[in-house]
Structure 1
């Protein structure tokens, strides 16, 4: 049964309990009206989605690569999960779930369990996302069901937003639930609670600090339909736009899954590099030939520093983004699914052209080689074999990052190599914690010196990347040089930042602030935000 999207929906509970048919998608701005402030009873259940579909709506909005022929969304992908609800907070035992769908996997975050505003039943709402099995796209939505004593209603799934530049769609369905109550009283409750952060509306900044309106991703340079979220962080304040969707503001914004894309080069790549170099000062000089597939004459003088700087000397053409967008590299990203396939392309299909360390050529496959090198190095030193699990996750735990940040896309084989240059995930609360960590390392230089240097770019340590825009690269981070005259400072100001495919930026300003936006309209613009931050607190030294 097809339904019409983006209209006002029938009563939520009537649809859940099959008393009326779903005729439209749900307006997120009105959805919370169904929930009271009283927590529902605790529970511990196993629940699955059924292939019995009672109502469905699906419309493709954008499909640059003709993916429609590869996907099956005749129903929400079938999956099994286990949920525990304690004091109104509902947590899945596993966040990332391998689904039976050929194209999509599933992410479930921490949701809420509240008594209905119109009955004695409880209503459960969980953040859910469809993630691509071999790409970093995320399609965000909600999973909703109701509980009455020992009965569980049908399940509603709705996808109304994404951070995915090349594939966008709306989806809503009602499907039968298959469930089993394990225990009404939850034993060993999960530690994870819904991420509650003291967020302020970013629009409040304008009047309070007397800065020009539309200084952030609300400017004319961005199409609202391509925005997921944006914000400015400083001191203990996190100013956020909330999370935008085509059906209103996302009601669980702190739990919305955000893809890293190439932010992973700085997080998985540079964070790990810094930790390992702190323990071994010669780590950066480790030859790439430690990797058997790269043990050849052309890689003889290339080391880990060169890979991190994108100066391996291997490339097809030096033109900006040529290698990254090439047919060969597209095959590496999307078609090569095993480690053997990926590393063979990365090591052998980009010819040696110039002395390593001399020229910047951006290419994700070099960061994949770096991640492979991390594992080879660890194995040679102490028998460890997975840098992501053995090194990076420990840091993320120390920083208090979310479970989402501790997952990576990996190759589909026994090696299960973490992608390193892409394929990670974050929550909005992670951004504040990364901000705190970045500015701490930026100021202090007694440890993680590799990361400290990346966060303090200058003309001596940075490599020209995009000369037209005064953009540089070093140690897995981008940077911009802003002229002294533009800012009214005595000297040029350098700003380090992370960047991700489709329109993602996370910039760390010298005044202690950080600015981010997640979007998918191929826009990389933050000049207005830079000047607004400078007006609030000067960048000048």
Structure 2
């Protein structure tokens, strides 16, 4: 459902508004009762209902073919897509869909398989396939989303949300299509497929399925088939909640536009959108996108049979982007909850299996996350990662075996002194953090569940991406930590926005430790992290990569800057530029090419300097007058950014930030992180503040404070209260020069007591450096 900001009550109206609301409810209950049908009706999914006539010209996957056919290969993926003339569905699916005989059905065409996966018969067929589904309008929703453990020797399964619609040629039955993905057991390869069938209130046609795309560098194939299916109609427990949740999920997705629209939206910049996705073999490119100025500009999802019918829901593997998005982010969350000492915990104090292994003495969580444990066989760039010990680590499914392989590297250097890439080190860091969390929160605590509940879910990550692969091929195994997560394009853009634009805060509440996040995002010149090996040395810190760009890369880069990024096996990059944009792509031909996208992003908004050289006078705050109508890049409590003028107008323009004004116990916050260049001698925050209050006593009941947060430490810059009533906006200026060379979060926090409103209004805020 769309978000509606809370309505603030003008002073003097609080009691009247409350009484009116109560009276309205009482009268409504006496005069009428809600219709049961309406009470049970789910919120509609944005975009419904369908408006087509049902006159769909169809020659592929016709009703006759879905009733009885033996496919000999894959067909165009558009045959599974919602057509332009689709009419609203006449039937609603609720119950369980089961595909029968999948273990021996269908065809398989090997395209790339150097490791011989196809020698195993189960690899050539679907695993057991059953899904409980409910329907909201034309949307068909699995009640279980994300990775499912099937017990199959080759494949686990994920089923996504699909569509249902009416076509005139289907004999009155409703047509449905669902995206699904096969996920390699004990690994992270994802093979994307789609299925389709016809149904009515009690019966179902055969189900046609095919797989024509993947993100997997070492195993590529087509798979197809048509099988009998069982439909068991039943009222699904929690079905209404699932329908409502999906409607809210769709409404909460970031606005999307085709990538070509970027040039139209930003004319005069000279941005060349063909550079996005460039440098990657087209047949190896699963998808790509570019988040900028609140919009997720997206490329297509090319398969071997055209565009994937559910591009926005194509399941994408994390591979080592999980080292950042899971293990690294988990540390930042632990540090915010319990302090930065979480990074300094010794593995030997947290992982029982280190007992008797002297090589791991002195190694901390931070060392393991930074891949500088000092334990390795070869210091050559990714030599160990491709070696036999690491191969055994990846192949190990039981926790005990995986842990034993992770701990088998010998001591070669002092911990913290040398970077050597090891996926096993991230596994160790995640296990240590999990056990640290259990000491703090109880033996039932789980590191990934903490991340899911306190980070991923609050920022709107889809249920498809709120599951992690685990050891022992079971849901209660130990999460891999450094791989085994999944993304959709919306998930990628939201997560990058959370780090790069929202500074690790959700609705004004700081979720990640701001200091460690600034370090991870290469915003602190004194904390770049470990220097990597390889042909292009980079930086690595808390599971995040960092790459420096200078005029040697492009003459347009008049000042050097660093780009933090997440990287994944086979050709995956999520690059978060210091101008607030993010470029991402998922591919599987071992191609890592994204410099051209950085150059195009720089045309839209020049990158912030790292410091050094001559100071360039600048204004650093984004959205200083809130005139975009949204908080970004500020983080704010819901409803704080406001354009109503009846009670309190803005200082200039139409929008302002309005903290509090409720007349009841309430805290609200507004924050933004800026990096103050070290080479500038002066930095100052200026803003316009108006304070209005209904309080009459000479006591500071309601307060506004301004804090500067650096490396997790908050310093109070100023305080105001109801005693500082201004009558109109007044300019305020505060010195920020003590924060030169650092990333600092400026946070306003308003607090009201139980009665009599106080409103704190902020507008036209700037941070000028010179």
- TM-score w.r.t. structure 2 length? 0.65
1:56 to 106, 112, 124: 106
Which is bigger in relative contact order (C-alpha 8 A, separation at least 6)?
A: 1
Q: Which residue of 1 aligns with 2:360?
A: 299
Q: Which residue of 2 aligns with 1:5?
A: none
2:199 to 147, 153, 158: 147
1:481 to 529, 544, 548: 548
Q: Secondary structure at the match of 2:101?
A: strand
| Contact 2:105 2:125 survives alignment (8 Å) | no
Instruction: Indicate yes or no: 2:186 matched with 1:134.
Output: yes
- Number of residue equivalences: 529
- Cα deviation for residue 257 of structure 1 reads 0.6
Q: Distance in 2 between matches of 1:237 and 1:321?
A: 36
Q: What whole-Å deviation, never above 9, does each CA across 1:321-366 have from its counterpart, x for those lacking one?
A: 11111111011012x111111111111x211000011111010000
Q: Secondary structure at the match of 1:399?
A: coil
Q: Secondary structure at the match of 2:226?
A: strand
Counterpart mapping for 1:81-230 below 5 A: 81-95=131-145, 96-119=147-170, 120-183=172-235, 188-190=240-242, 191-193=245-247, 195=250, 197-206=254-263, 208=267, 209-212=269-272, 214-217=274-277, 219=278, 221-230=279-288
1:261 to 299, 316, 319: 319
Q: Distance in 2 between matches of 1:521 and 1:56?
A: 27
Q: Distance in 2 between matches of 1:422 and 1:338?
A: 16
Q: Distance in 2 between matches of 1:298 and 1:11?
A: 61
Q: Secondary structure at the match of 1:151?
A: coil
Q: What whole-Å deviation, never above 9, does each CA across 1:427-463 have from its counterpart, x for those lacking one?
A: 1111121122012354989943212210125464322
Unaligned 5+ segments in structure 1 are: 1-7
Q: Which residue of 2 aligns with 1:390?
A: 450
**Could you say if the C-alpha distance between residues 412 and 305 of structure 1 is closer, same or farther in structure 2, counting changes exceeding 3 Å?**
same
Runs of 4+ in 1 over 6 A off after TM superposition: 52-55, 443-446
- Cα deviation for residue 76 of structure 1 reads 2.5
Q: Which moved more, 1:89-98 or 1:204-213?
A: 204-213
Q: Distance in 2 between matches of 1:54 and 1:522?
A: 33
Q: Which residue of 1 aligns with 2:632?
A: none
Greater share of helix = 1
Q: Distance in 2 between matches of 1:52 and 1:432?
A: 36
Q: What whole-Å deviation, never above 9, does each CA across 1:24-46 have from its counterpart, x for those lacking one?
A: 42212354338614134322111
| Contact 1:441 1:448 survives alignment (8 Å) | no
2:71 to 22, 27, 30: 22
Q: Which residue of 1 aligns with 2:663?
A: none
2:130 to 69, 80, 90: 80
Q: Secondary structure at the match of 2:166?
A: strand
Q: Which residue of 2 aligns with 1:517?
A: 585
Q: Distance in 2 between matches of 1:427 and 1:473?
A: 25
Q: Secondary structure at the match of 1:112?
A: strand
**Could you say if the C-alpha distance between residues 14 and 508 of structure 1 is closer, same or farther in structure 2, counting changes exceeding 3 Å?**
same
Aligned-CA RMSD value: 2.5
2:465 to 392, 405, 411: 405
Instruction: Indicate yes or no: 2:381 matched with 1:332.
Output: no
- Cα deviation for residue 516 of structure 1 reads 0.2
Q: Which residue of 1 aligns with 2:536?
A: 469
**Could you say if the C-alpha distance between residues 54 and 273 of structure 1 is closer, same or farther in structure 2, counting changes exceeding 3 Å?**
closer
Q: Which residue of 1 aligns with 2:666?
A: none
Q: Secondary structure at the match of 2:411?
A: coil
- Cα deviation for residue 235 of structure 1 reads 1.4
Q: Which moved more, 1:50-59 or 1:239-248?
A: 50-59
| Contact 2:561 2:608 survives alignment (8 Å) | yes
Counterpart mapping for 1:315-326 below 5 A: 315-326=376-387
**Could you say if the C-alpha distance between residues 168 and 274 of structure 1 is closer, same or farther in structure 2, counting changes exceeding 3 Å?**
same
| Contact 2:419 2:533 survives alignment (8 Å) | no
Q: What whole-Å deviation, never above 9, does each CA across 1:408-430 have from its counterpart, x for those lacking one?
A: 11011786100000001111111
Q: Distance in 2 between matches of 1:160 and 1:199?
A: 25
Q: Distance in 2 between matches of 1:294 and 1:441?
A: 38
Q: What whole-Å deviation, never above 9, does each CA across 1:1-45 have from its counterpart, x for those lacking one?
A: xxxxxxx97443222112x54354221235433861413432211
**Could you say if the C-alpha distance between residues 473 and 519 of structure 1 is closer, same or farther in structure 2, counting changes exceeding 3 Å?**
same
Q: Which residue of 2 aligns with 1:308?
A: 369
Unaligned 5+ segments in structure 2 are: 1-57, 610-770
Q: Which residue of 2 aligns with 1:4?
A: none
Q: Distance in 1 between matches of 2:502 and 2:120?
A: 44
| Contact 1:9 1:27 survives alignment (8 Å) | no
Counterpart mapping for 1:279-290 below 5 A: 279-289=338-348, 290=350
**Could you say if the C-alpha distance between residues 340 and 239 of structure 1 is closer, same or farther in structure 2, counting changes exceeding 3 Å?**
same
Q: Secondary structure at the match of 1:325?
A: coil
